[in-house]
Structure 1
Amino acid sequence: MNDIGTQATERTQHDSTGPDLTACVRAATAAPSLHNSQPWRFRIGAHGVDVHADPRRQLDVLDPAGRELLISVGAAVFTLRLAIRGAGYLSHTTLFPDDTDPDLVARVSVGQPMAPTPAAEALVAAIPHRHTNRWPFARSVVPADAVERLADAARREGATLTVANAVSRNAILSLSQEADRALRAQGRYRAELARWTSPQRGRRDGVPSTAIGPWDALEILPIRDFGLLQPHRDRAAAPFEPYPTIMVLAVDGDTRRHWVHAGQALQRVLLTATWLNLATTPISQPVEIPAIRRLLTDSRTGSWAQMVLRVGYGRPAAATPRRPLTEVLLPDDGGATGR
């Protein structure tokens, strides 16, 4: 049993008040997503929340199979589960509950009341403070006990998180740079990147200029160049840490269901890192080029790399905007949620 606290193994009756599911959905929208695309929609019912993928927000160039879209939705599912737990209730999650509706990713049903554990409360408190950090980190070493806590967070969601040793780290960074160059050479990639970074008044998605960060003057880390439309020399440069802590998140399979599990594990890891005052940067380029992703995957065990993470101590990062609930809430279907 995992401990956001414990997930109920079967749905039980709860009191007439129940958690504020609208507030829980609002918390879920704080989950991370590729280019802050926020590819999710929610339907609140009498007994829980249905979480849908929004295929209109899929990035066709970077994510043609929808793997990162489902990782993003999985992160939202975990945050929803956590918010319900923080409100004092257990929950039960069923993935892909309707074979006729492939965009219905998860049904999260509310279970019986139970006071949240201190660990769950700490993770809930971390939700609004988790932000992708694209700035240089301190050269301080991440303590071994913190690394173990992050690995344990992944294990609790059925994933593995492995810290790279010096040789593996250099190999992963080299592969990441190779992947970044391959992506940057594609005109369609540049156009897609522009779509999610173009400044628009009142925009509530995408990556704003305040969240982009500088270019790595040492050219060690492939920080995504969201300023592609501007001359490269105009982007500020700064020396990043020369020996970053790099970790690889993997799950034992590579199906749609595995991708959702990976997203839940990713968000638990990111929130645990936030709780530990650690900064994080997902480095997705090496898992966006199939040939390079295969090099990070253990074919003997079937453990598929899903995300590369940079972890360390950094300056506070700016938040990215979120769409209002009116844009992500689907109309009630008559109370069917939680069947």
Structure 2
Amino acid sequence: MTVRTGGADAPRTLPPAVLTGCVRSATAAPSLHNSQPWLFRVTGDGVDVYADPRRRLEGLDPAGRELFISVGAAVFTLRLAIRREGFLTRCALFPDPDDADLVARVTVGRPAVPSPAVEALADAIARRHSNRGPFTEDPVPATTLELLRDAAHREGAVLTVADAATRDAIVALSHAADRSLRARGGYRAEKSRSVRHPRRDGMPFSPVGPWDALEAVPTRDFGLLPEQPPETGAFEPYPTILVLSTPGDDRAHWVIAGQALQRVLLAATWQNLATTPASQPVEVPAVRRRLTDGARGLWAQMVIRIGYGRPAAATARRDLSEVLLPD
């Protein structure tokens, strides 16, 4: 349902049922291993968004950085869904110092007709799926890369396109990071638990993608179970790699990174690009430091691979009753 504004009888706010629909859209956001670490409460004039610390992956995310990035992606999707309904939004991060899990309070603002760009981004919510398969060798146009940089900038982040040397270093660092992570106690078991048969969370086998035998792209070894051996694939030899950074590295900047990440991914989907967020290069502190631009005061938060590829399968989402808190 899209509420259009402008007439004398136009609604001045969104009814709870429509806000609940916006929450449903927000649950389509990406999250680490599809952990979906968010909860929502519909209020009289908006939605409170909470982190669900029970769903943090301790082996991969001991500090909770990627949990907050995931919640930030859901916050942006919620804002966009409300904007598509014909209203501006206000967003306050960590509005209650006594409630550390309350990440954002998204309030419905004044009516405003959504622009064509807003409509296009919102239409991309249902079509955006992480694609871990091979991409073609077709280059991404410079104008499209500029659009993606602008998307990150609008959310307070910086998106950098890796040059050839940096790209090769990132790929090597990604595989080094994966080897380092595999050495952690419980890490492989945690990954294997994330690769699930059909259910509402975790990673089903189909979106994991084939194995890159030449290790040309920053893909993660998901520790697949023995009865499901990885399929090999012919990946692009020179992937287009982006680094998303923020001018700080506290929990507020992690939420900002998540909002920027989702805006970039939706803008790429709008441009018919496939996307692969790759978090393993920034999950190992030593590797992350090499991707961080200290001279510019920018902290690397996520690596993104983009290109043209076949449509990817969607991952399941938890039922709305599991993520919607009582008013």
Report the alpha carbon displacement of residue 104 of structure 1 after superposing the two structures with TM: 0.1
1:169 paired residue among 167, 170, 177: 167
Q: Which deviates more from structure 2 when the two are superposed, residues 308-317 or residues 219-228? A: 219-228
The letter of the residue matching 1:205 is: D
Whole-angstrom distance in 2 between the partners of 1:101 and 1:87: 29
Does residue 203 of the first structure (1) align with residue 199 of the second (2)? yes
**Per the alignment, in what secondary structure is the counterpart of residue 186 of structure 2?**
helix
Whole-angstrom distance in 1 between the partners of 2:47 and 2:250: 23
Greater relative CO, 1 or 2 (CA 8 Å, sep 6+): 1
Report the alpha carbon displacement of residue 212 of structure 1 after superposing the two structures with TM: 1.1
Does residue 32 of the first structure (1) align with residue 27 of the second (2)? no
1:55 paired residue number? 53
> Structure 1: which 4+ aligned runs deviate by more than 3 Å?
15-19
Equivalent positions of 1:1-339 (< 5 A) are: 14-15=12-13, 17=15, 20-199=18-197, 203-230=199-226, 234-332=229-327
Q: Deviations over 1:152-203 (max 9, x none)?
A: 100000101000111111111111111011112334111111221132xx62
* TM-score w.r.t. length of structure 1: 0.91
Q: Is the 8 A contact 1:216 1:238 kept in 2?
A: yes
**Per the alignment, in what secondary structure is the counterpart of residue 99 of structure 1?**
coil
Q: Is the 8 A contact 1:19 1:87 kept in 2?
A: no
**Per the alignment, in what secondary structure is the counterpart of residue 130 of structure 1?**
coil
Q: Deviations over 1:58-91 (max 9, x none)?
A: 0101100100000000000000000000000011
Whole-angstrom distance in 1 between the partners of 2:180 and 2:227: 18
Q: Which deviates more from structure 2 when the two are superposed, residues 158-167 or residues 210-219? A: 210-219
Whole-angstrom distance in 2 between the partners of 1:208 and 1:16: 35
Report the alpha carbon displacement of residue 20 of structure 1 after superposing the two structures with TM: 0.8
Report the alpha carbon displacement of residue 17 of structure 1 after superposing the two structures with TM: 4.8
Query: Percent of pairs identical after alignment?
Result: 65
Whole-angstrom distance in 2 between the partners of 1:17 and 1:62: 39
Whole-angstrom distance in 2 between the partners of 1:18 and 1:56: 27
The letter of the residue matching 1:143 is: P
Report the alpha carbon displacement of residue 238 of structure 1 after superposing the two structures with TM: 1.1
Q: Is the 8 A contact 2:152 2:159 kept in 1?
A: yes
Report the alpha carbon displacement of residue 18 of structure 1 after superposing the two structures with TM: 7.8
Whole-angstrom distance in 2 between the partners of 1:125 and 1:260: 23
Q: Deviations over 1:184-234 (max 9, x none)?
A: 2334111111221132xx6200110111110012222242222433289x3
The letter of the residue matching 2:206 is: T
RMSD (CA atoms): 1.5
Whole-angstrom distance in 2 between the partners of 1:82 and 1:114: 13
Whole-angstrom distance in 2 between the partners of 1:61 and 1:18: 38
